[in-house]
A and B are shown apart, each in its own frame.
Chain A
Amino acid sequence: MVTAPLGVLFTSVLSTIAPLPPSSQPSQPSQIEPRFARPASIVEQGPSPEYYRTDPNLFALVLRTQLGAHVRVAPSAGVAFSIDALAGLSMRVGRVSPLRALACVGYHYVGFGSHFFVLQTGALLDIVEEPQSRKIVSVGLTVDGLAGAQESIGALGVRTSLLLSVYGLTVSAGHQWTRSPSGDVHEAHFMLGTLISLGGSR
């Protein structure tokens, strides 16, 4: 059985048709111009859901950096520079759900002489989404477990932060509590940073 692939060479050659030489005027073949019923234009009934057209992949790689200030409120007062660098995963709770769970690990430094390993968990809620551009405004809550050294003494702690992410730029504020043999320390923090999602849905 032979199948004829139609119109490949032909279209390419004749797409640049030039006027024929006057000597070769073709004879007109006889062919019918068929009558068609008027074609319809089918339209959607109501706004379309957005489910199957979204990415079925729920996971995304997350990179976070933050710079800011820690304000020590107890036992003494003071302000120090702080920096964070974190990497992890986010997981959308459902394919089109605006809620994402977050899990990251990384490093957290405070200018009071604190160096901490960070295990961060949290939740992000997308409140504005532009599916085509992936621009998202999200709010979130993160809870960090801290383990490291505070002024050269071993310390453990917990940091809780509220987060606002606008097109990947973040503002976060919260409270950090650490416990070491020299006592408990409470600090408030205010940080600016980035939250970059790579891959995953939306």
Chain B
Amino acid sequence: MKRSLPLLVLSLSACAPSVRDLVSHRHYREAVCAASEGAQPAVVRRALLRDLGLQVHAQVVRSSTFDAISAQRAARSPRVLRLLRVDVLSNALPVDEVEIEGALSTDGDSWSVRAATIGNFAQLTRERLPRERVGSTYFTGPNVLRGMAALVTGGLSLLFSPMQRESYTIPPRPDEIARSAPLAWDLALYVHRDGCERSGSGGARCQWYAIVDERATAPLELRLAMRYRADGLGSRRSCSITERVTVALGEVGTLDRTLSARFGERARSLEELSTNATDVAGSR
């Protein structure tokens, strides 16, 4: 950036800009770095959350396969399991990254809420996932260096640092999983969009699935963590602040009815939902 000399001279005693001005003009990169240094983090947090404009939708997913497995399992142990889907959409903010993480929680035992992973589905269907295989190789970075040292020293270095085999794991191939755990694979196919991606507007589009046990007594909550990152200038790296918001989704026992009545087909903004901003943390 080029500056003229008079401007430079005038700015010799440059002072910090007001955080409220930064926020009102949406200079959120500066505001994030200010908040990470402890300059009015609550003001920055409120403004970021307001402009992030989160929209949330939750629903119980109807799957004949899942319901059959759930009923079969319920016959053995008194559980009623539901497959839940949560969608979140955000506005695009003038920061370098917004990272959104979501988690569902309630009370109860370990089956109260579980991520809809193929491992958890396989546990439900009592199918066995194929094991990871272990391979080994001599072609590693350290061995390349050892080889170069051997060339330079005429092989003498290998007396002190011989080539070593390193092992690595090979995950099972999808067709192996489908063969050995067909029901779990069946369920998992429809929840593979788990996570966040950039939407057309530049904001985040997130989708999460979870398995919920309807016997849990505490209300189900969606816990969202938003990490805002701004890149530094010059020798400064990046700075970030994290905020956590809890959205109450309703009683677990009546989730189906509650979510249908509350959301229907339309996503709701955070203002329409009962939320609780719980935490903000900064890092430089």
Asked if A37 and B94 sit within 8 Å, CB to CB, the answer is no
Q: Whole-angstrom distance from the CB of A83 to the nearest CB of chain B? A: 30
Residues of A within 8 A of B189 (CB): 14, 20, 26
Which listed segment binds A: B145-153, B160-168, B172-180?
Answer: B172-180
B53-101 contacts to A, CB under 8 A, are 53, 55, 57, 59, 61-66, 83, 85, 87, 89-94, 101
Chain A residues whose C-beta falls within 8 Å of the C-beta of B232 in the assembled complex: 53-55
Q: How many residues of B contact A (CB 8 A)?
A: 102
Task: Assess A2 versus B194: contact at CB under 8 Å? Given A27-B65, A36-B267, A42-B51.
Answer: no
**Residues from 1 to 37 in A contacting B, C-beta threshold 8 Å:** 1-14, 16-21, 24, 26-32, 34-37
Residues from chain B with a CB closer than 8 A to the CB of A151 are none
Q: Are A202's CB and B235's CB within 8 A?
A: yes
**B203 interface residue (CB < 8 Å to A):** yes
With contacts A7-B117, A53-B33, A55-B236 taken as known, whether A37 is within 8 angstroms of B108 at the C-beta atoms is no
A113 at the B interface (CB under 8 A): no
- A30-B61, A131-B233 provided; 12 other pairs, C-beta below 8 A? A6-B209, A7-B194, A9-B118, A10-B194, A21-B175, A26-B187, A27-B64, A29-B61, A34-B265, A36-B89, A54-B234, A127-B8
Enumerate 17 A-B pairs (CB-CB under 8 Å) in ascending A order. A4-B210, A6-B101, A7-B208, A9-B117, A11-B195, A14-B174, A20-B189, A26-B65, A26-B189, A42-B91, A43-B94, A51-B17, A52-B239, A54-B234, A96-B11, A97-B14, A129-B1
**Interface residue ranges, B against A (CB under 8 Å):** 1-3, 5, 8, 11-17, 22, 25-31, 33-34, 37, 39, 51, 53, 55, 57, 59, 61-66, 83, 85, 87, 89-94, 101-110, 112-119, 171, 173-175, 177-179, 182, 185-192, 194-195, 199, 201-203, 208-210, 218, 223, 230-236, 239, 263, 265-267, 269
